[in-house]
Amino acid sequence: MTGTLFVVSTPIGNLEDITFRAIRILKESSIIAAEDTRHTQKLCNYYQIGTPLTSYHDFNKEEKTPLLLHRLKEGLSVSLVCDAGTPLISDPGYYLVHRATHEKIPVVPIPGPSSILAALCASGLPTDQFRFEGFIPKKPGAREKLFQELKDQPGTFIFFDTQHRILKSLSHLLAAIGNRQIVVARELTKINEEFLRGTIEEVSEHLTQKPIKGELTLLVHGLSAKKRKREYDQSMP
């Protein structure tokens, strides 16, 4: 009988942010495939999870995927986790899940924490429509192209960025879409959790005077329906 591949969400900071089901699945699994076994071991120690760990990340996925698929076909269960939050969302795992589905191996999600949704629901920006774009590109040209493509789109845009590039990102964002409302969320669920809200210029000024550290999630107010209609009407002959 074929085993099951579980895609397990784990805490993004606070170790208490994990479901009872996730803990049970991790304990009952034959193997935990972790992005960084040292990081996941801390979680396992906290919840007394004794399941063996094996590393699974972008640099060994082609080597490890066949081995994990073989174990699954033998009937063993595998839990896939990343360092924080939900696997596959700007994290390793797609290659394994994609192969497993093609091999007709059951894939079961164990939902839980996500920095994207945590940041969105506390941002104060529109939540009825949003778009996640992953990490902001490092190269200026790719960054400018992305922002230009989004400037006329509705909803809320969500990005990941680093403390070292955030000011450059905001500068390019301002040039592309104008001085809209944004939120920078950092260190979500951790002791130093913080939300910076305001226009791009206001947040940029704050970050210039007081640089911040930690993992950052950037949320940007898209073009409102009313403004989209007004700009469309103005463009008509």
Tell me which DSSP letter residue 155 carries: S
Position 14 pLDDT exceeds 80: yes
d(CA 80, CA 96): 9
Give CA separation, 234 vs 151, 178, 231, in Å: 17, 18, 5
Confidence of residue 237 (pLDDT cuts 50, 70, 90): low
| Confidence (pLDDT) at 224 | 77
Q: What CATH number matches the domain at 115-229, 3.30.950.10, 3.50.50.60, 1.25.40.10, 3.10.20.340?
A: 3.30.950.10
Where are the chain's structural domains?
5-110, 115-229
Residue indicated by tokens 């033998």: 74
Span 222-231, average pLDDT: 64
> How would CATH label the architecture of 5-110?
3-Layer(aba) Sandwich (3.40)
**pLDDT tens-digit readout, 30-85:** 999 999 999 999 999 999 999 999 999 999 999 999 999 999 999 999 999 999 99
Is 93 a residue whose pLDDT tops 70? yes
- d(CA 218, CA 203) in angstroms, rounded, equals 11
pTM, full prediction: 0.89
- Please give the structure tokens belonging to residue 221: 């107010």
Q: Whole-number mean pLDDT of the chain?
A: 94
The per-residue pLDDT for range 168-213, each reduced to its tens digit, is: 999 999 999 999 999 999 999 999 999 999 999 999 999 999 999 9
How high is the pLDDT of residue 230? 52
What pLDDT, on a 0 to 100 scale, did the predictor assign at position 233?
45
Classify residue 92 as exposed, middle or buried by CB count within 10 Å of its CB (0-12, 13-18, 19+). buried
Nearest-CA neighbor of 83 among 20, 13, 17?
13
Give yes or no for residue 161 having a pLDDT over 50. yes
Residue 232 pLDDT level (bands cut at 50, 70, 90): very low
pLDDT at 231 over 60: no
Q: How confident is the model at residue 236 (pLDDT cuts 50, 70, 90)?
A: very low
